[in-house]
Amino acid sequence: MIYVTGIGPGGADMMTPQALEALKSCEIIAGYKNYVDLVKKFLPDKKFLAFPMKSEVARCQEVLKLASASSHDIALISSGDSGVYGMAGLMLEIASGSGVDVKIIPGITAANSCAALLGAPLMNDYVNISLSDLLTPWEVIEKRLIAACEGDFVICLYNPASHNRPDNFRKACKILLKHKSPETPSGFAKNISREGEISQIMTLGEIQECELIDMSCTVIIGNSQSYILDGKIITSRGYDIRA
Protein backbone atom coordinates (compact mmCIF):
# COMPACT_ATOMS: atom_id res chain seq x y z
CA MET A 1 0.00 0.00 0.00
CA ILE A 2 1.14 3.52 -0.79
CA TYR A 3 -0.23 6.20 1.54
CA VAL A 4 -0.07 9.59 -0.18
CA THR A 5 -0.18 11.71 2.94
CA GLY A 6 -0.73 15.40 3.52
CA ILE A 7 1.32 16.42 6.54
CA GLY A 8 -0.25 19.86 6.95
CA PRO A 9 1.90 23.00 7.34
CA GLY A 10 4.76 21.15 9.04
CA GLY A 11 4.31 20.99 12.80
CA ALA A 12 3.21 17.74 14.41
CA ASP A 13 0.39 19.59 16.16
CA MET A 14 -1.05 20.55 12.74
CA MET A 15 -1.10 16.99 11.38
CA THR A 16 -4.35 15.06 11.44
CA PRO A 17 -4.51 11.89 13.58
CA GLN A 18 -5.22 9.87 10.42
CA ALA A 19 -2.08 11.22 8.73
CA LEU A 20 0.06 10.55 11.79
CA GLU A 21 -1.23 6.98 12.06
CA ALA A 22 -0.52 6.40 8.36
CA LEU A 23 3.08 7.54 8.79
CA LYS A 24 3.54 5.42 11.90
CA SER A 25 2.28 2.34 10.05
CA CYS A 26 4.78 2.74 7.19
CA GLU A 27 8.34 1.47 7.22
CA ILE A 28 9.50 3.98 4.59
CA ILE A 29 8.57 7.67 4.27
CA ALA A 30 9.45 9.39 0.99
CA GLY A 31 9.15 12.98 -0.13
CA TYR A 32 10.74 16.30 -0.97
CA LYS A 33 13.76 16.75 1.29
CA ASN A 34 12.38 19.80 3.14
CA TYR A 35 9.22 17.91 4.08
CA VAL A 36 11.20 14.82 5.06
CA ASP A 37 13.25 16.97 7.46
CA LEU A 38 10.03 18.15 9.13
CA VAL A 39 8.73 14.61 9.70
CA LYS A 40 12.09 13.33 10.93
CA LYS A 41 11.73 15.55 13.98
CA PHE A 42 8.87 13.47 15.41
CA LEU A 43 9.37 10.10 13.67
CA PRO A 44 13.17 9.72 13.79
CA ASP A 45 13.18 5.90 13.72
CA LYS A 46 11.67 5.58 10.25
CA LYS A 47 13.58 5.00 7.03
CA PHE A 48 13.44 8.14 4.89
CA LEU A 49 13.94 8.75 1.19
CA ALA A 50 14.56 12.43 0.42
CA PHE A 51 14.24 13.84 -3.09
CA PRO A 52 15.16 17.24 -4.56
CA MET A 53 12.71 19.75 -6.01
CA LYS A 54 11.49 19.04 -9.55
CA SER A 55 11.87 15.27 -9.16
CA GLU A 56 8.18 14.52 -8.76
CA VAL A 57 7.88 11.90 -11.50
CA ALA A 58 11.03 10.07 -10.41
CA ARG A 59 9.81 10.26 -6.82
CA CYS A 60 6.53 8.52 -7.62
CA GLN A 61 8.24 5.95 -9.83
CA GLU A 62 10.70 5.05 -7.06
CA VAL A 63 7.93 4.76 -4.47
CA LEU A 64 5.92 2.50 -6.81
CA LYS A 65 9.01 0.37 -7.47
CA LEU A 66 9.62 -0.11 -3.75
CA ALA A 67 5.96 -0.86 -3.03
CA SER A 68 5.84 -3.40 -5.86
CA ALA A 69 8.98 -5.20 -4.71
CA SER A 70 8.06 -5.61 -1.05
CA SER A 71 5.15 -6.12 1.29
CA HIS A 72 5.94 -2.94 3.20
CA ASP A 73 3.64 0.07 3.28
CA ILE A 74 5.24 3.28 2.04
CA ALA A 75 4.20 6.87 2.71
CA LEU A 76 4.67 9.56 0.07
CA ILE A 77 4.31 12.92 1.79
CA SER A 78 3.24 16.38 0.67
CA SER A 79 2.93 19.53 2.70
CA GLY A 80 -0.61 20.76 3.29
CA ASP A 81 -3.03 18.42 1.53
CA SER A 82 -1.57 15.93 -0.94
CA GLY A 83 -4.43 16.61 -3.36
CA VAL A 84 -3.83 20.39 -3.47
CA TYR A 85 -0.68 21.07 -5.54
CA GLY A 86 0.66 17.86 -4.00
CA MET A 87 1.58 14.34 -5.08
CA ALA A 88 -1.82 12.62 -5.05
CA GLY A 89 -2.79 13.00 -8.70
CA LEU A 90 0.62 12.09 -10.10
CA MET A 91 0.94 9.04 -7.83
CA LEU A 92 -2.49 7.77 -8.90
CA GLU A 93 -1.55 8.20 -12.56
CA ILE A 94 1.80 6.44 -12.24
CA ALA A 95 0.41 3.58 -10.12
CA SER A 96 -2.51 2.95 -12.48
CA GLY A 97 -2.52 -0.68 -13.64
CA SER A 98 0.33 -1.69 -11.34
CA GLY A 99 -1.79 -3.64 -8.89
CA VAL A 100 -0.45 -1.54 -6.00
CA ASP A 101 -3.13 0.09 -3.86
CA VAL A 102 -2.89 3.84 -3.30
CA LYS A 103 -4.73 5.57 -0.47
CA ILE A 104 -4.96 9.35 -0.21
CA ILE A 105 -4.70 10.80 3.31
CA PRO A 106 -5.90 14.42 3.52
CA GLY A 107 -4.15 17.19 5.41
CA ILE A 108 -4.72 20.76 6.57
CA THR A 109 -4.20 22.99 3.54
CA ALA A 110 -1.98 26.07 3.41
CA ALA A 111 -5.09 28.11 2.61
CA ASN A 112 -6.84 26.98 5.79
CA SER A 113 -3.85 27.33 8.11
CA CYS A 114 -3.02 30.77 6.69
CA ALA A 115 -6.64 31.90 6.98
CA ALA A 116 -6.76 30.91 10.65
CA LEU A 117 -3.77 33.13 11.41
CA LEU A 118 -5.29 36.07 9.55
CA GLY A 119 -8.81 35.74 10.97
CA ALA A 120 -11.70 34.46 8.85
CA PRO A 121 -11.03 35.60 5.28
CA LEU A 122 -12.39 32.43 3.61
CA MET A 123 -15.93 32.65 4.99
CA ASN A 124 -17.41 32.93 1.50
CA ASP A 125 -16.46 31.65 -1.95
CA TYR A 126 -12.73 31.63 -2.67
CA VAL A 127 -10.23 30.24 -5.15
CA ASN A 128 -6.70 28.89 -4.91
CA ILE A 129 -4.28 30.01 -7.63
CA SER A 130 -0.64 28.99 -7.84
CA LEU A 131 1.71 31.64 -9.23
CA SER A 132 4.27 29.01 -10.23
CA ASP A 133 4.60 28.97 -14.02
CA LEU A 134 6.80 25.86 -14.10
CA LEU A 135 3.87 23.68 -15.18
CA THR A 136 1.20 26.28 -15.98
CA PRO A 137 1.90 29.03 -18.57
CA TRP A 138 1.82 32.55 -17.15
CA GLU A 139 -0.83 33.53 -19.71
CA VAL A 140 -3.18 30.94 -18.16
CA ILE A 141 -2.40 32.19 -14.65
CA GLU A 142 -3.26 35.74 -15.75
CA LYS A 143 -6.64 34.56 -17.09
CA ARG A 144 -7.40 32.81 -13.81
CA LEU A 145 -6.50 35.89 -11.77
CA ILE A 146 -8.77 38.08 -13.90
CA ALA A 147 -11.63 35.56 -13.76
CA ALA A 148 -11.34 35.36 -9.96
CA CYS A 149 -11.58 39.13 -9.75
CA GLU A 150 -14.60 39.24 -12.05
CA GLY A 151 -16.32 36.69 -9.81
CA ASP A 152 -15.40 38.72 -6.70
CA PHE A 153 -13.75 35.70 -5.11
CA VAL A 154 -11.38 35.86 -2.19
CA ILE A 155 -8.07 34.73 -3.71
CA CYS A 156 -5.53 32.48 -2.01
CA LEU A 157 -2.15 32.59 -3.74
CA TYR A 158 0.16 29.59 -3.51
CA ASN A 159 3.85 29.63 -4.55
CA PRO A 160 3.86 33.43 -4.76
CA ALA A 161 7.57 34.03 -5.42
CA SER A 162 10.92 32.26 -5.58
CA HIS A 163 14.56 32.94 -6.46
CA ASN A 164 13.91 31.86 -10.05
CA ARG A 165 10.72 33.89 -10.46
CA PRO A 166 10.92 36.81 -8.01
CA ASP A 167 8.59 39.08 -9.99
CA ASN A 168 5.53 36.83 -10.36
CA PHE A 169 3.89 38.07 -7.17
CA ARG A 170 4.23 41.74 -8.10
CA LYS A 171 2.99 40.97 -11.62
CA ALA A 172 -0.04 39.25 -10.10
CA CYS A 173 -0.73 42.18 -7.77
CA LYS A 174 -0.67 44.60 -10.72
CA ILE A 175 -3.33 42.48 -12.41
CA LEU A 176 -5.43 42.34 -9.25
CA LEU A 177 -5.16 46.10 -8.73
CA LYS A 178 -6.83 46.66 -12.11
CA HIS A 179 -9.94 44.97 -10.72
CA LYS A 180 -9.75 45.43 -6.94
CA SER A 181 -9.38 48.45 -4.68
CA PRO A 182 -5.86 49.06 -3.34
CA GLU A 183 -7.54 49.13 0.10
CA THR A 184 -8.69 45.49 -0.23
CA PRO A 185 -7.78 43.65 3.00
CA SER A 186 -4.93 41.24 2.36
CA GLY A 187 -2.39 39.27 4.33
CA PHE A 188 0.15 36.49 4.32
CA ALA A 189 1.53 33.81 6.59
CA LYS A 190 5.07 32.45 6.42
CA ASN A 191 6.57 29.26 7.86
CA ILE A 192 3.21 28.23 9.31
CA SER A 193 3.64 26.06 12.44
CA ARG A 194 7.40 26.03 11.86
CA GLU A 195 10.30 27.96 13.32
CA GLY A 196 10.10 31.59 12.23
CA GLU A 197 6.32 31.69 11.76
CA ILE A 198 5.01 35.17 11.02
CA SER A 199 1.77 36.60 9.67
CA GLN A 200 0.82 40.12 8.69
CA ILE A 201 -2.32 41.92 7.57
CA MET A 202 -2.23 44.91 5.22
CA THR A 203 -3.92 46.25 2.11
CA LEU A 204 -3.53 44.97 -1.44
CA GLY A 205 -1.69 48.17 -2.29
CA GLU A 206 0.77 47.55 0.51
CA ILE A 207 1.32 43.83 0.11
CA GLN A 208 2.57 44.17 -3.48
CA GLU A 209 5.69 45.88 -2.07
CA CYS A 210 6.23 43.41 0.78
CA GLU A 211 9.79 42.05 0.73
CA LEU A 212 8.93 38.99 2.86
CA ILE A 213 6.86 37.19 0.25
CA ASP A 214 8.56 33.98 -0.95
CA MET A 215 7.88 30.26 -1.47
CA SER A 216 7.36 29.70 2.25
CA CYS A 217 4.39 32.10 2.20
CA THR A 218 0.70 31.79 1.47
CA VAL A 219 -1.10 35.02 0.53
CA ILE A 220 -4.81 35.80 0.84
CA ILE A 221 -6.45 38.73 -0.99
CA GLY A 222 -9.94 39.65 0.17
CA ASN A 223 -13.04 40.44 -1.89
CA SER A 224 -15.47 43.38 -1.82
CA GLN A 225 -17.09 41.99 1.36
CA SER A 226 -13.82 41.58 3.29
CA TYR A 227 -12.93 43.97 6.08
CA ILE A 228 -10.57 44.26 9.03
CA LEU A 229 -12.01 44.07 12.55
CA ASP A 230 -9.87 44.04 15.71
CA GLY A 231 -6.79 43.24 13.69
CA LYS A 232 -8.34 40.29 11.83
CA ILE A 233 -9.66 39.90 8.28
CA ILE A 234 -13.29 38.85 8.03
CA THR A 235 -15.16 38.12 4.82
CA SER A 236 -18.85 38.60 5.48
CA ARG A 237 -21.34 35.89 4.58
CA GLY A 238 -24.22 38.31 5.02
CA TYR A 239 -25.49 37.31 8.46
CA ASP A 240 -27.68 39.93 10.15
CA ILE A 241 -25.97 40.06 13.56
CA ARG A 242 -28.51 42.65 14.74
CA ALA A 243 -31.33 40.07 14.68
Residue 39: which residues within 8 A CB-CB, separation 6 or more? 7, 23, 29, 31, 46, 48, 77
Segment 59-82, tens digit of pLDDT: 999 999 999 998 889 999 999 999
Q: List alpha helices for the chain, DSSP H.
A: 17-25, 33-40, 56-69, 88-95, 110-118, 138-150, 168-177, 204-207
* pLDDT single digits (tens) 165-221: 879 999 999 999 999 999 999 999 999 998 899 999 999 999 999 999 999 999 999
For residue 23, how far is the Cα from the chain centroid?
Answer: 20
What are the beta bridge partners of residue 103? 3
CB-CB contact of 1 with 72 (8 Å):
no
- At 133, the pLDDT band (50, 70, 90 cuts) reads very high
Q: What's the CATH architecture for 2-105? A: 3-Layer(aba) Sandwich (3.40)
Topology classification of domain 110-235: 3.30.950
- Asked whether the whole model's pTM tops 0.95, one would answer no
The ranges assigned to domains in the chain are: 2-105, 110-235
Tell me, what's the pLDDT at 182?
Answer: 97
